[in-house]
């Protein structure tokens, strides 16, 4: 079974370079469908979610070439859109193709993208918004067919912040007839990157990074070359590793300005932080302090995608910490796994209470999803003895090579094929 083995218990010392952002590049890859010609995407992370997205684009008759971190996508004739379920089902962000495909071809059939263990992850806001823009959607048992004779601008007031719905509606709006307003839009930096890419391609978008987007439809977009910004969640994951294990690390290219709530939380736990344009320096020399009252929130609040990593760090902090998860309904799946390592955690509805212990011991753990799996690896770097985290493929959805990165930071970890007991 694909796994990661960690010999834990030593402090970290070293530096690593932060990869391009998964959650920025996925909607940008979808956006290339709106553009006739060849787009070049630089600093594109080589992760399985990107490979799935590129396969989906190829299934739509795009030509995709890759040289290391540079991807070229040539979109000319788009075939009728029946996306291969094996990729749609595996990767939720396939729903992001919906807005772009409707703008380009006017017709899409797809199955509902998979939910995952962290939540049901419906797409009702996406479909409601597209219906307001002139799309007729026929929902069936396991999927839907969407048709439009032409997208029209509309005003959307999202009842709550949704990154994906904001991205899909932006992609549907940039070539629509008329003006689109999105109130209560997500403000995540990944929305800013998407809007920057589209604006460079000729789109007319105002308000990126604010809660109100105004998009005036244009006739066409032209090819661009764009460099994907560094991944703030990967940077925050490695920051949390230092909170777990102690030591001194430098994260080259870490987007410090996008990590302010995360840096404040780390400082509250006793980390020494230095921000610079080159990256982020973290030093943890003393035992970390507990952090009561942490709550996840949409940007610029504390990111839900770093909740598991900070949970792992809190298990070793001195005192009682609490975390409240406000975005997803089931994002504490790693609690039983951390308890196998000796962590003292109580789960109460969508909150956890953590009584810090002065040591964790290695254990055989199972990853069930991307960020929780990464958090188990972080815990393993701090635990005494050997930890094995199985289902490495979940982690490889978002981290190019977490083992190599952590080795550069001084951790002793490696990819292994864990023997599955003969049943």
- For the annotated catalytic residues, the residue numbers are 116
* Residues paired with 73 in a beta bridge: 39, 64
| Orientation angle between helical segments 260-268 and 232-245, nearest 10 degrees | 10
CA–CA gap between residue 116 and residue 328 (Å, rounded) = 11
Separation between Cα atoms, residue 372 and residue 249, nearest integer Å? 22
- Buried-exposed string 379-401: b where 16+ CB fall within 10 A, e elsewhere: bbbbbeebbbbbbbebbbbbbbb
The token pair at 70 is 């540079």
How many C-beta atoms surround the C-beta of residue 351 within 10 A?
A: 15
Record the tokens describing residue 65, joined without a space: 């070439």
Residue 215 to residue 173: CA distance in whole angstroms:
6
Separation between Cα atoms, residue 170 and residue 215, nearest integer Å: 7
Q: How many CB atoms lie within 10 A of CB 52?
A: 21
Q: Which two tokens stand for residue 173?
A: 């709006």
CB closer to ligand EPZ, 91 vs 290:
91
**Shortest distance (Å) from residue 50 CB to ligand EPZ:** 11
46, HSE (Cβ side, Cα atoms, 13 Å): 7
Q: How far is the CB of 331 from ligand EPZ (least distance, A)?
A: 8
Smallest distance, Å, CB 216 to ligand EPZ?
24
Residue sitting closest to ligand EPZ (CB): 164
Closest CB to ligand EPZ among residues 165, 251? 165
Q: Which is nearer to ligand EPZ, 133 or 284 (CB)?
A: 133
Closest approach, Cβ 189 to ligand EPZ, in A, equals 11
Write out the residues near ligand EPZ by the rule CB under 6 A.
22-23, 26, 93, 119, 121-126, 162-165, 190, 304-305, 327-328, 370-371, 398
- Using the minimum distance from each CB to ligand EPZ, give the nearer residue, 50 or 403: 50
Query: Minimal distance in Å, beta carbon 230 to ligand EPZ?
Result: 14
The CB-of-371 to ligand EPZ minimum distance in angstroms stands at 5
Nearest to ligand EPZ of 233, 363 (CB atom): 233
Residue closer to ligand EPZ by CB (options 122, 150) is 122
Structure tokens at 350: 């969508």
Rounded to whole angstroms, the Cα distance separating 172 from 142 reads 23
Cβ proximity to ligand EPZ, 118 vs 365, nearer residue: 118
> How many CA atoms are closer than 13 Å to the CA of 276, on its beta-carbon side?
9
Angle between helices 163-173 and 189-200 (to 10 degrees): 10
Q: Cβ 368 to ligand EPZ, closest distance in Å?
A: 12
Distance from C-alpha of 35 to C-alpha of 73, rounded to nearest angstrom: 10
């Amino acid at each position: 079974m694909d796994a990661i083995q960690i010999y834990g218990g030593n402090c970290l010392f070293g530096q690593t370079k932060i990869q391009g952002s998964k959650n920025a590049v996925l909607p940008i890859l979808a956006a290339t469908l709106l553009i006739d010609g060849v787009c070049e995407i630089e600093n594109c992370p080589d992760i399985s979610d990107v490979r799935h997205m590129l396969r989906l684009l190829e299934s739509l008759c795009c030509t995709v070439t890759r040289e290391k971190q540079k991807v070229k996508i040539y979109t000319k004739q788009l075939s009728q859109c029946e996306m291969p379920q094996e990729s749609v089902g595996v990767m939720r962000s396939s729903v992001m193709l919906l807005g772009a495909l409707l703008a380009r071809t006017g017709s899409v059939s797809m199955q509902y993208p998979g939910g995952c263990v962290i939540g049901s992850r419906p797409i009702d806001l996406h479909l409601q918004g597209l219906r307001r823009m002139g799309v007729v959607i026929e929902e069936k048992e396991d999927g839907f067919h969407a048709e439009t004779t032409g997208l029209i601008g509309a005003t959307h007031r999202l009842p709550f912040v949704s990154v994906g719905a904001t991205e899909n509606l932006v992609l549907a709006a940039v070539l629509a007839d008329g003006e689109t307003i999105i109130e209560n839009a997500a403000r995540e930096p990944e929305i800013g990157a998407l809007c920057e890419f589209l604006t460079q391609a000729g789109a007319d978008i105002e308000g990126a990074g604010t809660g109100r987007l105004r998009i005036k439809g244009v006739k066409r977009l032209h090819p661009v070359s764009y460099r994907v910004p560094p991944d703030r969640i990967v940077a925050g994951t490695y920051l949390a590793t230092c909170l777990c294990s102690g030591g001194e690390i430098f994260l080259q290219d870490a987007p410090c300005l996008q990590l302010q709530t995360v840096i404040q939380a780390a400082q509250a736990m006793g980390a020494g932080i230095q921000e610079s344009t080159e990256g982020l320096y973290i030093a943890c020399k003393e035992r970390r302090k507990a952090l009561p009252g942490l709550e996840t929130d949409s940007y610029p609040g504390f990111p839900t995608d770093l909740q598991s990593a900070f949970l792992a760090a809190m298990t070793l902090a001195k005192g009682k910490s609490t975390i409240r998860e406000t975005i997803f309904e089931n994002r504490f799946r790693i609690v039983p796994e951390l308890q196998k390592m000796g962590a003292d955690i109580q789960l109460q509805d969508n909150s956890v209470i953590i009584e810090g212990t002065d040591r964790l011991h290695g254990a055989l753990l199972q990853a069930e999803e991307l960020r929780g799996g990464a958090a188990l690896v972080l815990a393993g770097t701090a635990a005494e003895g050997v930890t094995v985290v199985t289902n490495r493929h979940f982690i490889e959805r978002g981290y190019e090579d977490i083992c190599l990165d952590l080795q550069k930071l001084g951790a002793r970890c490696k990819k292994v094929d864990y023997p599955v007991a003969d049943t």
